[in-house]
Amino acid sequence: MFNRRKCGPSRRPIHCPANVLPTQVAPARVSPTQEVVRTNVINTVVPHIHPVHTTTVNRHVTHNQHYFPQTQSVENVFSENTMNCGTPENPNPDCFPIRRNRFGF
């Protein structure tokens, strides 16, 4: 069996002395600079003079009203041509002008 005084496996936990390693130095963590504002208050009195002049204006307003009456009408125009074209055996040449196709057909 194992010696209970030494560190190692056993049925009950045996606490061994801690191994102390050399101290390590981590990089520094720098917080943002905190700004402190110190205010000095110096009171100065400056007189301000505001003269007032009042002018009364009487404004006369003319309201021009324009009216544009409009009427409406409808005009119907009819046209009629009456031609005496003669008879089919003896037609009037002014009644049926001969129209030719541009292409000569």
pLDDT, tens digit, 9 for 90 and up, residues 22-49: 888 889 888 888 898 898 889 898 899 9
Task: Note whether 92 and 84 are within 8 A (CB).
Answer: yes
Is the pTM higher than 0.75? The answer reads: no
Longest dimension (CA), the chain: 154
Residue 8 — left, alpha, or beta (φ > 0 → left; ψ -120 to 50 → alpha)?
left
Is the model's pLDDT at 72 over the cut of 80?
A: yes
Q: Please tell me whether residue 70 adopts helix, strand or coil conformation.
A: coil
Handedness of CA 43, 44, 46, 47 (dihedral sign): positive
pLDDT, tens digit, 9 for 90 and up, residues 43-68: 898 899 999 999 998 898 888 888 88
